Structure 1
């Protein structure tokens, strides 16, 4: 049963992992990277918990909104980064609260359906939430570090690269790839 939970937690964390790779070129400080990873993990733990507690039908209704919310927020932030990069001469150190506060929740909304399903199957909501949260936090931190390293090899400004990466991910999510 725990192997199934670990496998599902890994799969559910992949959206956050991809988004973290796209955010990596922003070269967040180690402290900010940990904060972002923990916020991704927090929402990936809480949202399935809500699904388990709310039930199957509510989970499906909210899950339908997630198909649109994640790509819209990612695309919006990506567009913001691209526009800012084109408007300024050099990437300034901006407050990254957008990435910390607004990206994790929409990416986690689809997990409410998984949570509702796990609740129907009798999984413990508290253990599931903890497992999903930890896996996503680790995957997000790793993604941020990978993105940071890759940015050293791509001759594009870091804010423009992150913006283009988030826009690409928004398209991929919207198309269901």
Structure 2
């Protein structure tokens, strides 16, 4: 019974983190969608984002696991601090405005740059999660699924709504990561 409750708690934590990280893909997807995007480009872009949302936290988790073996109990504090910094940065970035230069999302380079920029937060969260004993397969699959789905939703929504919602989506994602960071420190 205790193991089932621990697994459910871990599942919910990973679910909320996956949604929070997907908010970044969602918000940036709105911006790209506002520029006009074909359905074929949405499929390609969201598939690559999903792949990056699997690979980046996986690399981060291995890095975090190594750090955990070196630092021991300090890793919980480091992970909480990292999530607080990451969440704060996402909130700050959401209020910066259009500071990101435009690029062509139809080229291979554009797809890779966009996918990397959306997924870099997943690496940082993966480092934090690597310091704990999390279910590796569940974590990376949920991050990939939600990263891909939220990017599809953002790209499609971007074709229909204003740019302001995307800024709020990134800020909400940052607030969730910030809250989890505070929970780790308490």
Under TM normalisation by the shorter chain, which class is it?
Answer: 0.5 to 0.7
- Is structure 2 residue 155 aligned with structure 1 residue 144? yes
Q: Cα offset for 1:37?
A: 0.9
Q: Which moved more, 1:106-115 or 1:12-21?
A: 106-115
Q: How many residues align?
A: 141
Give ranges in structure 1 of 5+ residues lacking alignment: 82-93, 152-164
Residue 77 (structure 1) aligned to one of 90, 101, 108: 101
2:14 maps to 5
Contact 2:63/2:130 (<8 A) preserved: no
CA RMSD of aligned residues (A): 3.6
1:109 aligns to what SS in structure 2?
helix
Query: Which whole-Å CA distance do the structure 2 matches of 1:47 and 1:35 have between them?
Result: 18
SS in 2 for 1:150: coil
Match status 1:28 vs 2:28: no
Query: What's the offset of the Cα at 1:76?
Result: 4.7
Distance 1:55 1:116 in 2: 4
Question: For 1:8-33, what per-residue CA distance to the aligned partner results, in whole angstroms no more than 9, with x for missing partners?
Answer: 10011111110000011233221210
- Contact 2:41–2:106, Cα closer than 8 Å, also in 1: no
Q: TM-score, normalised by structure 1?
A: 0.64
Q: Which residue of 2 aligns with 1:49?
A: 58
Equivalent position of 2:128 in the other structure: 117
> TM-score under structure 2 normalisation?
0.61
2:72 matched residue in structure 1:
none
